[in-house]
Structure 1
């Protein structure tokens, strides 16, 4: 579904991605792991169209979207759930969700999708008239996930969805990811919680200093001595 080839990216004169290659298969969870500064968020921004790479190619369902604007990618079926949630605090839960269906491809079925989001996240339906800024961090993450689903995506990009959450909410987020995969969604996940992310991943890529250092099935990386020592504390 997604193929990234020789991706290079920079912030001004500082290059942060160096010839990154990876693939995301339909119906899978593909995980990017690595330390802070390894390049995970830069990859997500590049795939979503929030920053333009300095080299390489990004293909989505066979179409070259390397230079396509972000709104075109959303309309084509890409949905980014950004690091830090970035909900609109002065708007209600329902207003935040409806903004997720702003792309033309999502507008026609927004009512059905809203009902589906409320089915998946009953707490959001309970709080539909509450301002998003008054919700807990975990509730805001559920809202960000729901808003991403409102775009009717075929590929969901999740950037550090458990960052700053309490353990009970971390567990809920990963359970939600499992449910979404079971429902047929395809997910690219960037996550620092390496253990659970690898347990969940069909395919995983370990990033170090802007390069893919290791790749393989999630279970294979989970059993890697180097990964266990460096990222799992074992």
Structure 2
């Protein structure tokens, strides 16, 4: 569900929807509570509410900070793997220059075919291994196996290229496995997020403020804070989906280098 929201609703609209739903819903609930329980506008229970709100607010801030930090770490890990994959692939393209024109042309063609296939299988919401990319990678290995090095430089560069090709294949496997296992935050984590968010809003709603003109803005501000936190968690929950997700730009750079004359 979270992946669908992030992938189908633009980030700006999703933020607005969450703010309207959470903050607006909290203000409406506050209006009902103030009418139903007018005694809550007094000061008698505020000492307890202030203490409760302080504890809940501290736990909420610590928990949300921990969740955001962990999810951002997952995105950084995925991004580092994709950058390593793209950088190693670019190095493979550069190293073809030392081989004969025939070998270099065959290698660059195989590298370009693989780069386009890898871009086509970019995880998105699926993370499925593409048969086309598998075939392109196999063809690429065969292309390197057909190279006949003549000079010591070509022999050394061929050995290095085969090692880099293994690194590219490993990085691709890691990318696919990470995308395949990307189900977002597990339901127990969402349960705690929703529970602590409801507690923060609930204590703000029942806080005893006599004047509605002061109470409603307070609840609205807390509602906006909760909504923006939910929005941030949604954006960070999936390393390959959304505006904050890992970008396929390193693979695009690999394809661009191969398509560029003399690249």
TM-score, with length taken from structure 1: 0.22
TM-score, with length taken from structure 2: 0.21
Higher relative contact order (CA 8 A, sep 6+): 2
* Structure with the greater alpha carbon radius of gyration: 2
Structure number having the greater strand percentage? 1
Structure number having the greater helix percentage? 2
